[in-house]
Amino acid sequence: MTQNQYPAAGLIRRVVSFLYEILLLTALLLIAEGVFQGVFQIVSGLSVTQLTDYPWIGVVNFFWLLIVTLLYFGWCWMRGGQTLAMKTWRSRLLMQDGTSLTRKAVLIRFSVASLCYAPLLPVYLLARKQAEYQPLMWVSLVLFVLPLLWALFDRDKQFIHDRLAKTRMVFFPKEVPSKHAKPENE
């Protein structure tokens, strides 16, 4: 079976893979945050409580976490088309023509997905504390659900970030050894 002959990954498989990806990404970002805090404290001489006194540090921290996330997804997608969650759920990202992802496709997919998924948690946390952020929370919730809604109505059941990046997620079945293949220890 050539790469462009693999069937599209089902919507449920992609959603469950996404949820698993959130768990893995959380662990990665906690480690990255620890590195950022440690290095910044050593370089600046500020304590953890003093770091919140400088709003620009939060902006630098945000971009650090965004870069770490881009590097994680970009490296995985360009090196085999799979993150750990995608390997677990036997799915792979390919270009629509069945080739490996390009840098441009990675950047488009990551950017669109980030615009949809990233705002929800910070805006939700703000809205819990300050009522004036409630309307923004609803906007971020709509953005979060947009890729799923898009997939429900898309002719190929692709998410909006896949449609715009010209990528597709395919189901990659387990490799079945051939009857005529020699055992490795012979």
Q: pLDDT value at position 182?
A: 53
Output 136-140 pairs: Cβ under 8 A, ≥24 positions apart.
none
Angle formed by the axes of helices 103-117 and 134-153, nearest 10°? 130
The predicted pLDDT at position 50 comes to 77
d(CA 83, CA 18): 10
Residue whose pair of structure tokens reads 């997919």 in the numeric block: 109
Q: For the segment 12-48, what is each residue's pLDDT rounded down to a tens digit? A: 999 999 999 999 999 999 999 999 989 988 888 888 7
Alpha helices in 82-157 (DSSP H): 84-88, 103-117, 120-129, 134-153
Domain boundaries, the chain: 3-171
pLDDT attached to residue 17: 93
Low-confidence ranges of the chain (pLDDT < 70): 1-4, 175-186
Residue 45 three-state SS: coil
CB 162 within 8 A of CB 148: no
Given the structure tokens 């995608």, which residue do they identify?
86
Strand partners, 109: none
